[in-house]
Amino acid sequence: MKFTVDLAVNPGDTVSGSVIVGLAKELEKLGDTATATGKTENLFPAGSGVTTKKFDDGKFFGTEYDFENVPLAVFNDGKSDTSSLHIERDGDFLIVSGALDFSGDGSTDLSSNPFGQQLMSTVDMSVSITVPGKIIETTGTVEGQKITWIPEYGKKNPISARVESPLAPPFPWLVVISVGGALIVAAIVISVIIVLRKRKMTQKAE
């Protein structure tokens, strides 16, 4: 299977990027492709900046979810269990949490048999999140502002990060409008004074 997450948290607390959920092309040979594809669909609610399209790179087929400036509240909506990927604001910090649990019931070690080894060799899984601000702590690998988690099959893989990222103060439109209005009034007053002085000088000259 293929499960790749490549997201970026924007300064305005919105999420952009993509999530790809795919299955191995070999499954097409088994027929019933529609049922197989259906298992990759409807994983994220459509609308509110989320669009979907079919995915096929010749090795995997499935669904690609594209996010465009999706508010964090919308991104987290409907995710009640702690294993789901959450990106939340806590004061001046962004908190990333979740888990990719591939441990199963613990009774089978996939790495100890040929079938399991072949299965793991075809798995393409990664979670990458680019964040604004200072990365305080994380269970992932940091490269610049990007944090990446490469989950291991057969294990429970925690996803967590704490990022110091204060919200920018709102632009003071009211102050700008007030100051701008005052400047306009001042300019008008100055113009009137100049005109009146010119008239008085003209009258004296006559």
Report pLDDT digits (tens) over 10-58. Answer: 989 999 999 999 988 877 666 666 666 677 887 777 677 899 999 999 9
Task: Examine the domain organization and report whether 86 and 45 are in the same domain.
Answer: yes
Do 125 and 195 lie in a common domain?
no
Contact 132/12 with Cβ under 8 angstroms?
no
Same domain, 91 and 174: no
Percent of the chain at pLDDT > 90 equals 41
Q: How many whole angstroms separate alpha carbon 132 and alpha carbon 13?
A: 10
| Whether residue 174 has pLDDT greater than 50 | no
Secondary structure (DSSP) of 79-125? --STTS-EEEEETTEEEEEEEEE--TTSS--GGGSHHHHHHHHT-EE
Residue 75 CA: distances (Å) to CA of 84, 124, 146: 11, 23, 19
Q: How far from each other are the two terminal CA atoms of the chain, in whole angstroms?
A: 96
Using a pLDDT cut of 70, give the percent of the chain over it: 63
pLDDT band at 176 (very low <50, low <70, confident <90, very high): very low
Question: Are 79 and 135 part of one and the same domain?
Answer: yes
pLDDT of residue 196: 61
Question: Could you tell me which of 7, 14, 10, 18 has the C-alpha nearest to residue 133?
Answer: 10
102 and 130 inside one domain:
yes
| Residues 36 and 10 placed together within one structural domain of the fold | yes
pLDDT digits (tens, 9 = 90+) for 116-131: 455 556 788 999 999 9
Residue 155 has pLDDT above 60, yes or no: yes
Three-class secondary structure of residue 170 per DSSP: coil
Amino acid present at 75: F
Query: Are residues 78 and 142 part of one domain?
Result: yes
DSSP string of 14-67, one letter each residue: EEEEEEEEEEEGGGGGGS-HHHHHHTTSSSS-SBTTEEEEEEE-SSEEEEEEEE
Average pLDDT of the residues of the chain = 78
Q: Is 103's pLDDT higher than 70?
A: yes
In the sheet with 124-130, reading across from the earlier edge strand, the strands are 50-56, 60-71, 14-24, 2-9, 124-130, 146-149, 141-143
Q: Quick one: 175 and 87 in the same domain?
A: no
Same domain assignment for residues 125 and 192? no
Quote the domain boundaries for residue 189: 170-206
- Least confident among 64-68, 121-125, 143-147: 121-125
Q: In the structure, what pLDDT confidence band is assigned to residue 115 with cuts at 50, 70 and 90?
A: very low
